[in-house]
Amino acid sequence: MDIYLDSNATTAVLPLAREAAMKTMQDAFGNPSSVHSAGLRARSVLDAARTSARRVLGMPTGRILFTSGATEGIQTAVLSCLNAWREKRDSGEALPGLLLYGATEHKAVPEALKHWNKVLCLGLNVQPIPVDRNGRHALEWLRHHAPQAAMVCTMAANNETGVVSDLDGIALAMNGSPALWLVDSVQALGKLDLRLAERRIDYAPFSGHKLYAPKGVGMLYVREGAPFTPLMAGGGQENAARSGTENMVGIAALGAVLKELERGRAFHPSSVLEAYRKQLVHALRTAFPDLVLNTPLAMALPTTVNFSVPGVTSRLLLEVFDAAGLRMSAGSACGSSRAQPSYVLEAMGLEAWRAASAVRLSFGAADTEDTIEEACRRIRQCGLALKASRLLPDVAAGTDAHSVVTRFAAEGECTYVVTDPGQRRCVVIDPRAEQVEPILQWMRCRGCSLVAVLNTAHDDGKQSGAASLKHAARALAQPAPTPCDPLGWPLAQDLIALGPWQLRRLQDGVLELWEHGALRYRFGADAAKAIDVDGDIVFDLPRHDPDARLAIVAGRSITEPSSEPLELSVSGLHTLLQQAPAIRLVDVRERVEQAVGALVPGDTRLRVDRAPMSEIINALPGWLGQTAEIPLVLVCRSGNRSAQAARALRGMGRQNTWSLAGGVALCGQDLFNTAMPEQETGIGRPCWT
């Protein structure tokens, strides 16, 4: 069962909202502008929704217009305000020079300010209001700048952190300012009392899909007397404030949700939501004892927790949670497909590692106690799996046979860690500054000591993490490093032995990794250079890998991609299985993801091997050697990592490799029983055959 903990991104549609939408389509499908009975029935649905909205918002006066969502409400508010200032300017009045918005505002707000400022040729200065480490607006700064502001935009509660703004403090700081005030109230609806009537808020946009109504419907409140310019002109609907035939299905559903808010049955009061959050935070702290909260709970919505786990990137945590059927996100849904750290946490001045590791858990005001309890159980399970996979420190964890080369890659830059099979000693090659923390965590979790930190080339020192890695390792009471040359090679040593593996250095910084007298891998080498390897395949592991090749077969040119499609659907997989029964599925998700959601193929003919992306280098000799004839179908969570690895393998000449399109997320039910273990997970050894 999926547990959805991403309610600040969107919510499911409440059954009673669905019913209201269906009923409107069946019984009240008329046009609310028509004067016949069908139109009147639709009009009564529209009026009832607006009446509920007025009661929920406590606003008997002012406009409430239905929109397509908050982004439209924001545009309308900004256009209304700026157009009023433009008219004043045209009649000779001097304009205040600033348009202010909170630095952690949803992007819709600053982008709307910039857009309409440009379209209306106002030339005002669009400036962020700084926030403190808790994400609260700098009120002194605002007090100083508000007298020169034409508009001030501050959200009621932040979508990423849940931080609730001090609206009374903001109102006080704006005292005497000519600015109109927009309060983005999207995350507040149903969770906070906005006291719109008491506060002199001019515009407040809302969005239906953040509170159990469907996407594509929202509301804008406009204070009586506040300037208003319609965004859309046409048939004069909504008293000519927003033309276009109303989205009656969405409005009926939103109306049903608002009515339910009035009744107070489906949604829990704050005290219950706070108790749920306490339970979830307790489970998170049990799973991740070093966890850091990115905002004080007392200042946040009772349904949101934003946290970071030292040494664990948000990407990894989200993948583990997803494998356990827990849907969370790294920040705003709009930004989470991009790799950049959250601008919200950066604006709060949090350290880079916290921004890079941040996870947002947000549940809904209608979630049940059973859901919260099951979520807590799975969170604890994820903590155990991370410990068992040596991604969190755990005193109980012993050693197990492990891959020799581990690859840490980000944005096309690669760092390699070479370990002895007992995992107690390691050499780090070409560490990047941003990889230092994850590598240290990796070493800590394995009780692994650092033998050397090597660079394969000189660089300007800005991006290399060699110095900080050595420094941090020393702080961890690691043995003092031996004197070394500028690239980190220990002086007076010809080779570094790691069990049966040996690292050797060539003149130009190139490193070779040998196993029992056979050359296996080279680091920092020119891949195009042919080498004499007596029939063995040697892999060049690149330092820069922008095209995600993973490795290049030394002395061999890159194979042209075949015309055979790279991605297989489930039915394509079954067809392939008819032709080649010996086919292997390879789970390239990280060990911890595999631990919380093992792939158990429904089809018993399928065998699953494990080759996590970070360790996949170790499987290459087998896949291009003894088992080269066996077709491989790589699988991951969404199909992205598996496609990348399959493409790389084809580039190495292994054409009989595919990726399962859509991964476990889309094919799960058709192909796998993804099992969620009850007990601490023992992770099997990868099958490199």
Q: Decide whether 273 or 661 has the Cβ nearer to ligand PLP.
A: 273
Closest distance to ligand PLP from the beta carbon of 276 (Å): 21
Return the residues of window 288-317 that contact ligand PLP according to CB under 6 A. Answer: none
Q: Decide whether 155 or 652 has the Cβ nearer to ligand PLP.
A: 155
Q: Is 187 in the site for ligand PLP (CB under 6 A)?
A: yes
In the three-class reduction of DSSP (H, G, I as helix; E, B as strand; rest coil), residue 240 is classed as helix
Distance CA 192, CA 661 (A): 42
Stretch that binds ligand PLP, among 18-26, 183-191, 401-409, 492-500 (CB under 6 A): 183-191
Query: Which of 3, 167, 186, 388 is in the footprint of ligand PLP by CB under 6 A?
Result: 186
Query: Which of 7, 52, 71, 237 is in the footprint of ligand PLP by CB under 6 A?
Result: 71
Closest distance to ligand PLP from the beta carbon of 81 (Å): 17
Stretch that binds ligand PLP, among 179-187, 287-295, 410-418, 597-605 (CB under 6 A): 179-187
Q: Are 651 and 561 in contact (CB under 8 A)?
A: yes
Phi, psi torsion values for 316, nearest 5 degrees: -65, -45
Q: Is 465 in the site for ligand PLP (CB under 6 A)?
A: no
Stretch that binds ligand PLP, among 68-76, 90-98, 294-302, 456-464 (CB under 6 A): 68-76
Q: Are 204 and 196 in contact (CB under 8 A)?
A: yes
Q: Decide whether 210 or 446 has the Cβ nearer to ligand PLP.
A: 210
Stretch that binds ligand PLP, among 56-64, 89-97, 182-190, 347-355 (CB under 6 A): 182-190
Q: Is 184 in the site for ligand PLP (CB under 6 A)?
A: yes
Q: Is position 334 annotated as part of the catalytic site?
A: yes
Return the residues of window 332-351 that contact ligand PLP according to CB under 6 A. Answer: 332
Q: Is 686 in the site for ligand PLP (CB under 6 A)?
A: no
Burial class (CB in 10 A: 0-12, 13-18, 19+), 596: buried
Token output for 61: 């006066």
Stretch that binds ligand PLP, among 181-189, 247-255, 367-375, 567-575 (CB under 6 A): 181-189
> ∠ CA 289-290-296 to the nearest 5 degrees?
100
Within 8 A by CB and 6+ apart from 592, the residues are 316, 319, 320, 323, 382, 385, 386, 388, 389, 391
Q: Is 106 in the site for ligand PLP (CB under 6 A)?
A: yes
Q: Are 261 and 26 in contact (CB under 8 A)?
A: no
Within 8 A by CB and 6+ apart from 323, the residues are 589, 592, 593, 594, 596, 597, 637, 664, 674
Q: Is 648 in the site for ligand PLP (CB under 6 A)?
A: no
Q: Is 136 in the site for ligand PLP (CB under 6 A)?
A: no
Phi, psi torsion values for 78, nearest 5 degrees: -65, -45
Rounded to 10 degrees, the C-alpha dihedral 623/624/627/633 comes to 50
Q: Decide whether 108 or 613 has the Cβ nearer to ligand PLP.
A: 108
The CB density around residue 351, as the number of other CB atoms within 10 Å, is: 12
Q: Decide whether 159 or 642 has the Cβ nearer to ligand PLP.
A: 159
> ∠ CA 185-157-5 to the nearest 5 degrees?
105
The CB density around residue 287, as the number of other CB atoms within 10 Å, is: 21
Stretch that binds ligand PLP, among 69-77, 448-456, 525-533, 613-621 (CB under 6 A): 69-77
Q: Decide whether 68 or 657 has the Cβ nearer to ligand PLP.
A: 68
Return the residues of window 610-639 that contact ligand PLP according to CB under 6 A. Answer: none
Q: Is 331 in the site for ligand PLP (CB under 6 A)?
A: no
Q: Are 592 and 312 in contact (CB under 8 A)?
A: no
Instruction: Give whole-number Cα distances, 164 to 132, 143, 279, 301, in Å.
Output: 13, 19, 21, 6
Q: What is the enclosing helix (H) or strand (E) of 593? A: helix 591-596
Which alpha helices (DSSP H) does 297-365 contain, by range?
314-323, 343-347, 352-357
Q: Decide whether 212 or 288 has the Cβ nearer to ligand PLP.
A: 212
Which alpha helices (DSSP H) does 453-562 contain, by range?
466-475
Token output for 672: 């796998």
Closest distance to ligand PLP from the beta carbon of 366 (Å): 18
- Interface with ligand PLP (CB under 6 A), residue total 13
Stretch that binds ligand PLP, among 180-188, 418-426, 427-435, 581-589 (CB under 6 A): 180-188
Query: Which of 30, 32, 69, 190 is in the footprint of ligand PLP by CB under 6 A?
Result: 69
Closest distance to ligand PLP from the beta carbon of 209 (Å): 6
Query: Which of 99, 146, 155, 595 is in the footprint of ligand PLP by CB under 6 A?
Result: 155
Distance CA 498, CA 422 (A): 9
Q: Is 11 in the site for ligand PLP (CB under 6 A)?
A: no
Q: Are 18 and 253 in contact (CB under 8 A)?
A: yes
- The single residue of 121, 334, 445, 484 carrying the catalytic annotation is 334
Q: Decide whether 206 or 501 has the Cβ nearer to ligand PLP.
A: 206
Distance CA 483, CA 486 (A): 10
Distance CA 669, CA 666 (A): 8
Q: Are 81 and 112 in contact (CB under 8 A)?
A: no
Maximal C-alpha separation, the chain? 96
- Tell me the one-letter amino acid at 328: M
Token output for 346: 């950066």
Instruction: Give whole-number Cα distances, 137 to 132, 133, 185, 191, in Å.
Output: 6, 10, 16, 20
Indicate the DSSP class of residue 80. H
Q: Is 159 in the site for ligand PLP (CB under 6 A)?
A: yes
Q: Decide whether 155 or 164 has the Cβ nearer to ligand PLP.
A: 155
Closest distance to ligand PLP from the beta carbon of 539 (Å): 44
Q: Decide whether 207 or 681 has the Cβ nearer to ligand PLP.
A: 207
Query: Which of 108, 213, 633, 648 is in the footprint of ligand PLP by CB under 6 A?
Result: 108
Q: Is 250 in the site for ligand PLP (CB under 6 A)?
A: no
Return the residues of window 377-406 that contact ligand PLP according to CB under 6 A. Answer: none
Q: Decide whether 69 or 542 has the Cβ nearer to ligand PLP.
A: 69
Q: Is 183 in the site for ligand PLP (CB under 6 A)?
A: no
Q: Is 165 in the site for ligand PLP (CB under 6 A)?
A: no
- For residue 387, list its beta bridge partners: none
Q: Decide whether 13 or 312 has the Cβ nearer to ligand PLP.
A: 13
Q: Is 218 in the site for ligand PLP (CB under 6 A)?
A: yes
* Of 356, 410, 451, the residue nearest 543 (C-alpha): 410
Closest distance to ligand PLP from the beta carbon of 471 (Å): 41
Closest distance to ligand PLP from the beta carbon of 332 (Å): 6
Q: Is 441 in the site for ligand PLP (CB under 6 A)?
A: no
Q: Decide whether 186 or 503 has the Cβ nearer to ligand PLP.
A: 186
Q: Is 207 in the site for ligand PLP (CB under 6 A)?
A: yes
Q: Is 316 left (phi over 0), alpha (psi -120 to 50) or beta?
A: alpha
Closest distance to ligand PLP from the beta carbon of 187 (Å): 5
Q: Is 241 in the site for ligand PLP (CB under 6 A)?
A: no
- For residue 64, list its beta bridge partners: 221
Stretch that binds ligand PLP, among 13-21, 65-73, 581-589, 656-664 (CB under 6 A): 65-73
Q: Are 130 and 103 in contact (CB under 8 A)?
A: yes
- Burial state string for 655-682 with b = 16 or more CB within 10 A and e = fewer than 16: ebbbbbbbbbebbbeebbebeeeeeebe
Residues near ligand PLP, by CB under 6 A = 69-71, 106, 108, 155, 159, 184, 186-187, 207, 218, 332
Residues annotated as catalytic are 334
